[in-house]
């Protein structure tokens, strides 16, 4: 097998198609996972007792349930109760649910790091509890949670490969199909690894820029 024609006519087109699917999974799952995670963190910290308990139970369930099992439940289990999802939709929903649970822990930890005195001071100045959370506490918490949230985003990039278990031909799935067909396992999986490395490196650089952009002078070195 000639290496150059294999790379240009087979490997690159296949991995490109798989990369597009991987990026679609990430772009759809990441923002909703973040928003849901913030909501869960706020629910645990500031919600009523019932809401707080429900949010805590959700986090415990998702953290204790392997992601692959969660995907199987969504794709293979839900049809038994009349809910049928496509493989792509089940993958996105599973990633959102998993991503949100871990994001909520990072955000909640960051919320706890904001001193209670700020809440008291803001309310003494006439701000409502909701205004204080939205305008004072949450912006600080999100800034402090960036490192943890970025780690979870990187995890999302990597565990998006599990979508292949539901027949979604994303990056790693496309690589496996090519490797199996042409018996070029080392070359293909090395190339797939380089693509994931590039995605993670780009994310790391972007997060570094974001941290500098939102840093408060005098508070973060």
Domain of 178: which CATH number? 1.10.3720.10
From residue 87, alpha-carbon distances to 83, 99, 131, 156 in Å are 13, 18, 41, 17
| pLDDT tens, position by position, 12-48 | 999 999 999 999 999 999 999 999 999 999 999 999 9
- Nearest of 119, 154, 150, 155 to residue 214 by alpha carbon: 150
How high is the pLDDT of residue 112? 92
Residues 62-88 have a mean pLDDT of: 96
Q: Which long-range contacts (CB under 8 A, 24 or more apart) does 32-35 make?
A: 32/96, 32/100, 33/95, 33/96, 33/97, 33/98, 33/99, 33/100, 33/103, 33/152, 33/156, 34/99, 34/100, 34/103, 34/149
Integer angstrom CA distances of residue 94 from 33, 49, 169, 213? 10, 27, 16, 32
The Cα–Cα gap between 112 and 155 comes to: 24
pTM: 0.92
Residue 220 belongs to some domain of the structure: no
Query: How far is residue 104's CA from residue 157's CA, in Å, rounded to a whole number?
Result: 18
Say whether pLDDT at 217 is over 70: no
Give the model confidence (pLDDT) of 119-172 as tens digits.
888 888 888 888 898 888 999 999 999 999 999 999 999 999 999 999 999 999
pLDDT band at 87 (very low <50, low <70, confident <90, very high): very high
Establish if 90 belongs to a structural domain: yes
SS3 (DSSP) at 219: coil
- Cβ–Cβ < 8 Å for 200, 32: no
Average pLDDT, integer, range 58-85:
96
The total domain count for the chain is 1
User: Is 56 domain-assigned?
Assistant: yes
Is 25 a domain residue? yes
Residue 220 clears pLDDT 60, i.e. is over it: no
Domain that holds residue 41: 3-214
> What tokens appear for 91 in the block?
């993958």
All residues at 6 or more sequence positions from 191 whose CB lies less than 8 Å from its CB, including other chains: 11, 15, 175
Q: Return the pLDDT at 24.
A: 97
At residue 1, the pLDDT reads 60
pLDDT band at residue 218 using 50, 70 and 90 as cut-offs? low
Give a yes or no: residue 48 inside a domain. Answer: yes
Asked if pLDDT for residue 2 goes beyond 50, the answer is yes
Predicted confidence at residue 221, as pLDDT, reads 43
Instruction: Report yes or no on 51 lying in a domain.
Output: yes
199 found inside a domain: yes
Is residue 219 included in any domain, yes or no? no
Confidence of residue 204 (pLDDT cuts 50, 70, 90): very high
Which tops the pLDDT comparison, 218 or 110? 110
Q: What percent of the chain has pLDDT over 70?
A: 97
């Amino acid at each position: 097998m000639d290496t150059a024609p294999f790379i240009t006519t087979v490997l690159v087109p296949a991995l490109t198609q798989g990369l597009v699917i991987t990026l679609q999974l990430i772009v759809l799952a990441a923002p909703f996972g973040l928003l849901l995670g913030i909501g869960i963190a706020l629910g645990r910290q500031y919600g009523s007792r019932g809401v707080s308990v429900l949010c805590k139970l959700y986090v415990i369930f998702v953290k204790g349930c392997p992601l692959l099992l969660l995907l199987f439940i969504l794709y293979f289990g839900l049809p038994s109760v009349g809910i049928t999802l496509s493989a792509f939709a089940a993958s996105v929903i599973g990633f959102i649910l998993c991503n949100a649970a871990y994001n909520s822990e990072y955000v909640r930890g960051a919320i706890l790091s904001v001193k209670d005195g700020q809440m008291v001071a803001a309310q003494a100045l006439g701000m409502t509890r909701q205004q204080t959370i939205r305008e004072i506490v949450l912006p600080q918490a999100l800034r402090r949670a960036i490192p943890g949230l970025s780690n979870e985003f990187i995890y999302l990039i990597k565990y998006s490969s599990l979508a292949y278990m539901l027949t979604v031909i994303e990056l790693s799935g496309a690589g496996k199909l090519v490797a199996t067909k042409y018996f070029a396992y080392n070359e293909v999986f090395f190339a797939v690894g380089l693509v994931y490395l590039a995605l993670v490196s780009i994310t790391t650089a972007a997060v570094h820029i974001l941290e500098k952009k939102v840093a408060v002078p005098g508070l973060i070195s």
